[in-house]
A and B are shown apart, each in its own frame.
Chain A
Amino acid sequence: MTDSRLPLLKERSALKGRSARAWAGFAAAAVALFALAPLALSDFRLGLLAKYLCTAMVAVGICLAWGRGGLLTLGQGVFFGLGGYAMAMHLKIADAGPGNLPDFMQLYGTATELPWWWQPFANPVFALAATVLLPMLVAALLGSFIFRRRVKGAYFAILSQALTAAFAIWLIGQQATTGGTNGLTDIQGFFGYDLNDPINQRMVYFIIAAALLLLIALARQLIHSRYGELLVAVRDSEERVRFLGYDPANVKLVAYVVAAGMAGLAGALFVPAVGIISPAMIGIVPSIEFVIGAAVGGRASLAGAVLGAIGVAWAKTALSEEFPAAWTYFQGLLFIVALAFLPGGLASLVGMVQRRRASHASEEPSPALPVGEAA
C-alpha cells in the first residue's frame, strides 16, 4: 500500500517510520507471547492460546494470498489438513512403537502391516519436511494448473472449496487407514516428549509462538519486497501487469504456495497442541472460518489478519463458554457488524485514524484509499 503520490523524501521517511513501528510491534508481540501470556494464563488457557496461534499462522498466509494477492483462498483446510495428518501419522507410528500398528488400524483395519503410503512417515525428518513441503507441492501443482488457465475470482474460490470438500470426504471414507471421521486421536508423545506433561505442553506453545513470529517476519519481508509490490499490482490490475511483461500466473502461484506451506505448518503444530486432527478441521466450514478471522481483523494488514484470527477464535471459546445455548447467534452478529461497518476489517480503523491525523497536520489532500478493498 505504498502511496506513490507522496514526494520521494516523504515516502522514505514514512518507510523508516513504518519500519520502526513494525519492529516495535514485533517486539511487543514477542514480549506478550513469551513473557506475559505464560505468566498470566493457566495451563489450560495457554493450551487454547496455542490453538488460536495455529489459526493465526494460517491467517498470515491468507493475508498474503487474499489480502495482497486477491486470491480468495477458501480451501486452506486442505493444506492445514495435509500438514496436520503428516505430523499426526508420524506421531501415531511413534506412539505405537516399532512393529506395532496404530490403535485405530488394529480396531478398524484388516491390514497386518502399515500401508505403503504410511511407511515414509515413520521417519521423523521425512514427516517434518512433509508437513510443509507436501502442502506446497499440492498447491504448486494445483496453482500452476488453475492460474495458467486464468481461473480467478469466484471460480477460484469455488474450486478451492470443492477441493477441500473432496479431501474431507476421501479421508472419512478411508476409515481403515485414516481413522475416518474420528481422525487421528489420542496422540501421546511428541518426538520422545510426553504430551501429558504440562511442561511439555508449554514447550509446544513456545514452539508455536516462535513459528508464528517467524512466519510474520517472513510474510512482512515478502510484502515489502519488489515481489510484494508486484503481487498487489496483479491483484489490482492483472492485465496491466501482463502487458508490462510479467507473468501474473507465476506471481500468484508464489503467494498461493507460500500460503499453503504456512497452513501446513500450522496444521502440523496444531496436532501436538490439541492432540487430534480430524476431517472436522478440514472441511468447508473450518476453511471458511480461517478466512473469516482474517477478514474481521483486516485481510490486507498482517497485524490485522493475525489479531483477527486470534480474536475470532478466542471469541468463539469465550462466547460458547458463557452462552452454551446461544453463542452461535452472537458469533454471527460479530461477523455481520465487523464486515458491514468495516469492510476492510478492524485494521482499517487504524488506517482511518492515521489518515485523519495526517490530513489535520498538513492541509494536503488525503491520500487515495487503497484500491485493494475492492478486490
Chain B
Amino acid sequence: MVAGAAALAAAVALSACGAKTDAGGSSDKAAKADTSGDTVKVGLLNSLSGTMAISEVTVRDSLKLAIDEINAKGGVLGKKIKPISEDGASDWPTFAEKASKLIREDRVVATFGCWTSASRKAVKPVFEKNKSLLFYPVQYEGLEESPYIFYTGATTNQQIVPALDYLKSQGKKSIYLVGSDYVFPRTANKIIKAYAAANGMKVLGEDYAPLGSTEFSTIANKVKASKADAVFNTLNGDSNVAFFKEYKSAGLTATSMPVVSVSIAEEEVKSIGSQYLAGQLTAWNYYQTTAGAANTEFVKAYKAKYGQDKPTSDPMEAAYTSVYLWKAMVEKAKSFDPEKVKAASDGITFDAPEGKVTVDGASQHIYKTARIGKIGTDGLIEQVWDSGKAIKPDPYLKGYSWASGLS
C-alpha cells in the first residue's frame, strides 16, 4: 500500500507541471482534423432528445439534405462528406461533451448545429480551444463574435430591429413583452426597451415564463389589461401553444392586438394549430413561401426526402445554407484547414433559398434580408414586408446610437 501511495503521489506530482494561465499559447494543442482519406467527416450537433428535439431534428434533416446534394455532385475538393450525428440532448454540458468528441475522436473538419444560445455558449470554448469551426444556423441575441463560429442565422439588427421598425411604421405606440426565461428573450427585450425609449414607444409590461411552462392565463390577462397596441413574443417551444390558446380565450385577436413572434416558424405553426395563429405576425429572414427558384428547388427536395407534409422554416434554411457556404469557403481556400477557411470567408456568396447571402468576414455573420410575415389559415406564412435589401450584420449594434448603452 505504501508503495502504491508513493507511486500515486509521484503520478500526481509528475502531472502537475502543465502550462500556467499566463504562459501564453506555448504549443499548438489544436486537434488536427482528418483529411487523409477520400471522405472527410463533418459533425452534426443537434438535440435529438429532450425539449428542443422537435425543432432541432428538422435542422439535422436539413443539414443532411445539403450534404447529400453536395455528395451527389462530387463532394468538396473531390472528397465525399460523411456526417457524424451526435445528440446534444437539450442539455448544455452534453453539448460541450459531444462537441469535444466530434473534434477530438472523430476529427471532423467542421461542425454544424446547436440551437439555443445556452448550447452555443457551452460549446464556444470547446471550438475555440481546439481551433475547429462551428456553423450556427439560428437567429440569436447578438453580442457575440467568436473567431471559430460562423453565424448563418440572423443577429438582432436583421430580425428584431426590423420588426420594431415595422411596428413603428404601422403606428403602434405601445407594446407588451412576453418571453421565455432565458438569455435570448431577456437580451432581446433589453434591446427592445432601448429602441422603444429612443423611438417614443411605450413598453407597458414585461413577463417571463420558465422554459416549457404552460401556465399563461395570468400573463394573457395582464396583456389584455395593459391595452397595448401590440405584443412582442419571444416565447420558445411548447409554451407558445399554451400562450396562444389563452390569448384567444382572453378574447384577444390579431386585429385587436397583433402579436409579433420571433421564434414561431412553419414547424411551430403546425404544432400550435393555425386556428390560434391566423393573422398573427412573425419576423424571420425566410419563409417556405419566399419567392425564387432556389427556394422552389429547396422546398421540393426537402419534401421529396422527408415527406410532403413537412414544412421548411428559417433555421432549416439557414442550416442548409451554412453547408453550402462552408463548401464555397473550402473551395476558395483549397483547404479544409480552419484558419485558411476563415481567411477565405469574406465575400463568399450563395444563392440561398432566402435569396443571395454574402459572408461578412470580419464578424463571420452573413448579410440577410429581414422579412415580416403573416400566418395564414393554411399554416403557411405570407410575407407582408421586407427590408428590400440584405442587411449588413451588426451583432453589437454599433451602428445604432440608441443601442450604445447595451454592451
Chain A: residues with CB nearer than 8 A to chain B?
23, 27, 30-31, 34-35, 38, 42-44, 47-48, 51, 106-108, 169, 172-173, 175, 180-183, 185-189, 192-194, 196-200, 202-203, 206-207, 210, 274-276, 278, 280-281, 317, 320-321, 324-325, 327-328
Contacts and interface: CB of A to CB of B under 8 A. Distances in A.
B21 A206 contact: no
A203 B16 contact: yes
Contacts, number: 150
A108 B129 CA distance: 24
B101 A44 contact: yes
Interface string B181-192: 111001100100
30 contacts: A30-B4, A35-B11, A38-B11, A43-B104, A44-B105, A47-B100, A107-B187, A108-B186, A169-B210, A172-B210, A175-B186, A183-B92, A185-B121, A193-B20, A194-B19, A196-B29, A198-B29, A200-B19, A203-B18, A210-B12, A274-B93, A274-B96, A276-B93, A276-B96, A276-B122, A280-B92, A280-B118, A321-B101, A325-B85, A328-B49
B23 A324 contact: no
A2 B104 CA distance: 48
B77 to A, nearest CB: 27
Nearest to B26: A197
B100 A173 contact: no
A48 B97 contact: yes
Given A180-B181, A188-B21, A207-B12, 6 more contacts: A172-B210, A275-B96, A275-B125, A278-B118, A280-B91, A320-B86
Interface in B92-141: 92-94, 96-98, 100-101, 104-105, 116-118, 121-122, 124-126, 129
Interface of B: 1, 4, 7-8, 11-12, 15-23, 29, 48-49, 85-87, 89, 91-94, 96-98, 100-101, 104-105, 116-118, 121-122, 124-126, 129, 143, 181-183, 186-187, 190, 208, 210-211, 407
B1 A182 contact: no
Given A35-B7, A325-B87, A182 B92 contact: yes
B124 to A, nearest CB: 6
A206 to B, nearest CB: 5
Nearest to A213: B8
B20 A203 contact: no
B29 A324 contact: no
A338 to B, nearest CB: 20
A182 B122 contact: yes
Given A107-B143, A275-B96, A328-B49, A42 B105 contact: yes
Contacts of A203: 12, 15-16, 18
Nearest to A94: B21
B48 A278 contact: no
A27 B4 contact: yes
B182 A180 contact: yes
A280 B29 CA distance: 29
A186 B181 CA distance: 21
Contacts of B143: 107
Contacts of B93: 274, 276, 278, 280-281
A276 B92 contact: yes
A173 B104 CA distance: 35
Contacts of B22: 192
A140 to B, nearest CB: 29
A196 B92 contact: no
B394 to A, nearest CB: 16
A182 B116 CA distance: 9
A187 B19 CA distance: 15
A196 B104 CA distance: 13
B192 to A, nearest CB: 15
A108 to B, nearest CB: 6
A197 B23 CA distance: 11
Nearest to B31: A44
Nearest to A186: B125
Contacts of B187: 107-108
B208 A173 contact: yes
B87 A278 contact: no
B4 A31 contact: yes
A203 B87 CA distance: 29
Nearest to B106: A321
Given A34-B7, A107-B407, A325-B87, A181 B211 contact: yes
A197 B91 CA distance: 25
A276 B143 CA distance: 20
A206 B13 CA distance: 10
A276 to B, nearest CB: 5
B130 to A, nearest CB: 9
Contacts of A200: 18-19
B92 A172 contact: no
A127 B98 CA distance: 30
B12 A206 contact: yes
B136 to A, nearest CB: 15
A317 B97 CA distance: 9
Contacts of A27: 1, 4
B67 to A, nearest CB: 16
A327 to B, nearest CB: 7
Contacts of A34: 7-8, 11
Contacts of A320: 86-87, 89, 94, 98
A38 B8 CA distance: 12
Nearest to B20: A192
A199 B182 contact: no
Contacts of B97: 48, 51, 274, 317
Given A44-B105, A182-B121, A172 B181 contact: yes
A276 B16 CA distance: 22
Nearest to B12: A206
Contacts of B17: 199
Given A27-B4, A44-B100, A197 B122 contact: no
A186 B105 CA distance: 21
A214 B22 CA distance: 32
A43 B208 CA distance: 41
B99 to A, nearest CB: 11
Given A35-B11, A192-B21, A199-B15, A321 B86 contact: yes
